[in-house]
Structure 1
């Protein structure tokens, strides 16, 4: 064997086929995360039976997928576990031979039945192209449907693709009947003679496709394992899935095992030529795709691109970076936005701009704040930026405590927090957890149109401005780095940071002069 097959599990000398269930399908399979079929302790027999076991599991998942599609009205854009026509035919042939072997081992009467040569000739006519689609469906339609249900094909009747697969299954059945006839005479040495099967690699030497979602699922599971695990945030996992899905759609295959360097280069160029995305975004998408392939190699270096990631070494797009001062709010813009926020009734528009202006927080961090994050020490109020409650932060250094600036207290922030119900402070109209970044960005652009200030970063601009406040008002660098969640990599960051430092941190915050807004009307 050329390596461990996909969906193969080995533990304590026992083998099994295991397939992870996509999250959206788990409710249709008793909320299980995976399906597994035991293959016994004989490795050779386990390898022989592995493909059939995986196909059986994939059909169960296929039924769940049908139910999900019926419930949501969404149709899959591509087969989940795509195989070539030859691969499907080889598997079908081998399953028929294995079934023949099993019957001969369990019932002596089976071998006494004569072969129906008239029926066999129908299979020959099928792969010779003499039969109509309806006749082919009558012969092999059920097995073709099993392949479709297993996610190995999306071929539809009436297409060339469907007819080619139906003819290939006729080859598999015709050759299987020939082996049965030989075995009835005691000859178990027969091999397929049709090129479709004769020229194919042995089934056990064909690794099952590894989809990009398979790799990401494994990485999500790996990072969540263990007592002090650091799970991959759901939003980050979705980003990787979306970018890999875009690549898979472009190359018309989800099989990560077949990615080539030429495809990687071609995808970059196609995204650039489309002119819809910036070079910076194209570079990020490609880097995320390359990262997923690296995860695949880390999980199975012997089989998954053993010679190395094919996307390594590909030149990514160059791009110009907008100077930091152009992305920041000017003082006049900051005053305009904060004054407009005073008039807002919706909490996220009323308070998130003010919180970011006086802390340098990321908008996503401010959007996930909860009432319980605010606390008082020595008569001074602070809030925590934390991962508690399944929240995610950009980096480990982003975990921090920030003093409430006097301008926020005067504005009434603490009164708002004290009056709020437990839980998230900034909720959606229909659900608690919402993505605030696009909402805040759109709101700001209503005040400062893109055509007037294209360089401005409506969300991140506060972070740039707060850094300048700290420089202007001589806030110590270590306090500035801590409050903004930045790191310089020094070993001192691993020590202390207890409540003892909070008064000094508050004193540093007090050095920042308030933004003077003409009125509060």
Structure 2
């Protein structure tokens, strides 16, 4: 089938596509690493399978369509690789791909690597895995290699895969050793990274010349930009976006030499993304804008001497609006009633059940972003001068403006027992279960909870013209405007910014915000009978 579908017995939308007849006899037993959003779904093709099916892990039709397009593009490239036969990787290609296994953990942890003892333990475990034989290396590094190959849509022969596992394992050992030295304060020049050559894959692609001392890679621009941007307090989500587009551009061109990229290359990349079904908004506001910003940083830091994306234009889409972007009265009451009556059942996650119960109500009475609410921690709620106040802070995770704000709770939330729920909760996040101490673990848990809340809402409000994670903000601002609440007070509650510098002068006190929130009418819960 050429479009997402729903499978009986599951609320998630499914991916389903037939295997072309000319490759049917060649793919039995092949393990596919299908990209699904930010994750990879491993699917083993059965001996008699006629189609590929897997969950798209979302209930949102728009997101499902994008994920379906990406998965289909991956499979098309795999089928083509099967027709041509498994590729044998050259030694240089293996070294280049192993470099990705090295750079990823180094880029993620080198700024704040934590305790040196932990890295010594990780280094020991990795070294033991390398010494444990083929089965041990497969167990420890096989999935990493599969993800790297999937990222490049590669099907390789068995010998090449084993060689890449060996090389990637050595690279990971070197990465953990490097991070161990960083944790002890040693940030001497990274001589290991230089040994990994740029990746060259595309047939007929112009080979990139070896990178001389002081030059830069495309993916390296993203890493360098983030080291500086992180210190300046830029959002992690921006880093993820820039890192992703740098990797995609590098893969498309078949090399990673930032100097060799031309304006024609960027235009070709834009056309390629259009052919994948990616929206103009994503291409213009995400892809091309990201490349432009990375090269601007590279020029400012003398890494490159040109910006190939500077003159590339993407047509702006004039969006047709057929309804208000905020929830209607009926939609709002339906969502909040479902949340109010929700109870945890069976083996359901306690954190996700709590999110379903409370996050819609918190958004309804604050106009906060869903992502800001799902990362609330126990210590972010306090009582002060008779008011219950929640603090939305970048210390908890992602806040778009990078600034904290205090938001008083609506009286209706107090009557429902939200402070009592918080007081009984364990320390830490109220709605997320984070496994591990890394930023990656926190971001993964954050995305999971945010997406589940969106899915809960989408079960009730199916209109694709409404964004489940943003409609509360529109509704909150509309009601506030109707109540004639001053714009600067509304903005201080919701975290909106203004181009009027004068509006930022003076404090918007908690008392002023509490008085404004008290004006918002209560939502009357209806019975679900």
Q: 1:325 to 1:417 in 2, by over 3 A?
A: farther
Deviations 1:466-515 (A, max 9, x none): 111101222221111110111223344544437xx222221111111112
**2:331 matched to 1:341?**
no
Aligned residue for 1:476? 486
Query: C-alpha distance in 1, partners of 2:526/2:459?
Result: 21
1:322: how far off? 4.8
SS in 1 for 2:296: helix
- 1:277-426 map, 5 Å: 277-283=278-284, 284-300=286-302, 304=304, 306=305, 308-323=306-321, 325-344=323-342, 345=344, 346-389=353-396, 391-396=397-402, 398-426=403-431
1:23: how far off? 4.8
**2:466 matched to 1:456?**
yes
Q: 1:24 aligns with which of 105, 109, 114?
A: 105
Q: Do 2:327 and 2:475's aligned partners in 1 also have CA atoms closer than 8 Å?
A: yes
1:289: how far off? 1.6
1:325: how far off? 4.9
Query: C-alpha distance in 2, partners of 1:71/1:490?
Result: 54
Deviations 1:108-139 (A, max 9, x none): xxxxxxxxxxxxxxxxxxxxxxxxxxxxxxxx
Deviations 1:395-448 (A, max 9, x none): 14x521111011211222122112112211112385774323221112211222
Q: 1:214 aligns with which of 217, 220, 236?
A: 220
Query: C-alpha distance in 2, partners of 1:149/1:215?
Result: 15
Q: 2:455 aligns with which of 442, 457, 462?
A: 442
Query: C-alpha distance in 2, partners of 1:246/1:334?
Result: 39
SS in 1 for 2:413: helix
SS in 2 for 1:326: coil
Aligned residue for 1:89? none
- 1:487-498 map, 5 Å: 487-497=497-507
Aligned residue for 2:475? 465
Q: Do 2:479 and 2:520's aligned partners in 1 also have CA atoms closer than 8 Å?
A: yes
Query: C-alpha distance in 2, partners of 1:245/1:350?
Result: 38
- 1:27-42 map, 5 Å: none
Q: Do 1:475 and 1:509's aligned partners in 2 also have CA atoms closer than 8 Å?
A: no
Aligned residue for 1:151? 196
Query: C-alpha distance in 1, partners of 2:482/2:475?
Result: 10
Q: What is the RMSD of the two structures over their aligned residues, measured on CA atoms?
A: 4.1
Deviations 1:354-386 (A, max 9, x none): 111111101110011111111222211111111
1:155: how far off? 8.6
1:256: how far off? 1.4
Q: Do 2:369 and 2:469's aligned partners in 1 also have CA atoms closer than 8 Å?
A: yes
1:21: how far off? 6.5
1:288: how far off? 1.0
Q: Do 2:107 and 2:223's aligned partners in 1 also have CA atoms closer than 8 Å?
A: no
SS in 2 for 1:387: coil
Q: 1:319 to 1:358 in 2, by over 3 A?
A: same
Q: Do 1:220 and 1:231's aligned partners in 2 also have CA atoms closer than 8 Å?
A: no
Query: C-alpha distance in 2, partners of 1:26/1:337?
Result: 41
Query: C-alpha distance in 2, partners of 1:27/1:455?
Result: 36
Query: C-alpha distance in 1, partners of 2:217/2:137?
Result: 20
Q: Do 1:324 and 1:464's aligned partners in 2 also have CA atoms closer than 8 Å?
A: no
Aligned residue for 1:427? 432
Bigger radius of gyration among the two: 1
Query: C-alpha distance in 1, partners of 2:390/2:456?
Result: 25
Aligned residue for 1:88? none
Aligned residue for 1:108? none
* TM-score, reference length from structure 1: 0.59
Query: C-alpha distance in 1, partners of 2:138/2:106?
Result: 10
Aligned residue for 1:105? none
Q: 1:321 to 1:27 in 2, by over 3 A?
A: closer
SS in 2 for 1:434: helix
Name stretches of at least 5 consecutive residues in structure 2 with no aligned partner: 1-100, 115-129, 150-169, 172-191, 345-352, 437-441
Give the paired residue count: 351
Q: 1:475 to 1:230 in 2, by over 3 A?
A: same
- 1:64-143 map, 5 Å: 71-73=140-142, 74-75=144-145, 77=148
Aligned residue for 2:523? 515
Q: Do 2:390 and 2:408's aligned partners in 1 also have CA atoms closer than 8 Å?
A: yes
Q: 1:508 to 1:241 in 2, by over 3 A?
A: same
Q: Do 1:21 and 1:32's aligned partners in 2 also have CA atoms closer than 8 Å?
A: no
